[in-house]
Amino acid sequence: MSTFLNASPVFGPVRSRRLGLSLGVNMMPASGKICTFDCIYCENGFNAERPCHEPYNSAATVLAALEAKLREMAGAGELPDVITFAGNGEPTAAPEFPQAIAGAVRLRDKLAPSAKIAVLSNGTHADRPEVHAALMMVDDNILKLDTVDPDFIQLLDQPVGPYSVEHQIETFATFGGHVIIQTMFLTGEYQGHDLDNTGDAYVEPWLAALERIRPQEATIYTVARETPAAGLAKAAPEVLDGIAARVRALGIPCQVSY
């Protein structure tokens, strides 16, 4: 199925289901994907289909482009609601991610003070002290936890290298609530495996993890664009609403994107 790569080092702005008018910041080059996950639902395609032979963008490159775009948007009278570090893969893996965040905060304060800064991350580098400190600087620290079932993670998210769900939960809890947990719920099948993670067998342990993490919010969503793997299907709106109600019953706000 068709997928796409984002422009670099900035892209958009785009109208996000969850974030409003979002100006994207891409630490990766436009020519390929660099990610520590290989999610079967990723809109950027599988890693092997989008090989990248260029390095991550430097903080200086990213910040120069971000400043130019913010000035352009200010001139047009439409500044972004959020500046989102996302792009073609995992932004926190970029060597100069911390410097880019610090610079983006300064630019936001100067040129777009009402905008938030968000990071969309799979959390695989959130335990690194310099990354952790940078994520504490942003408004929306959005970290992925699609399930706490190790086998399902290997099927759905396909981590590149060792991955411990328990370690991720412990790491996410160290943010002291300054974290938004992002979870994909879906149905369908992949390579003969059932992909439905909306039942109690998956949802109840996930809720227990949320209780341990105590995020400021959870955001749950489902398939909305073309995916690299065939056979994936949306979770029904009423199912997502039911899961969201269980999150809110824990005293945790929950945003739903259908």
Helix (H) or strand (E) holding 135: helix 129-137
Bridge partners (DSSP) of residue 188 are: 232
pLDDT given for residue 225 in this prediction: 85
**Rounded to an integer, what distance in angstroms lies between the CA atom of residue 194 and that of residue 104?**
42
**76-119: pLDDT as tens digits:** 999 999 999 999 999 999 999 999 999 999 999 999 999 999 99
- E strands, the chain, are 10-16, 20-25, 82-85, 116-121, 140-144, 180-184, 186-190, 193-194, 217-221, 232-234, 254-257
**pTM for this prediction:** 0.96
What per-residue string of b and e applies to 120-139 under the rule 16 or more CB within 10 Å gives b? bbbbbbbebeebbebbeebe
pLDDT given for residue 20 in this prediction: 86
pLDDT given for residue 79 in this prediction: 96
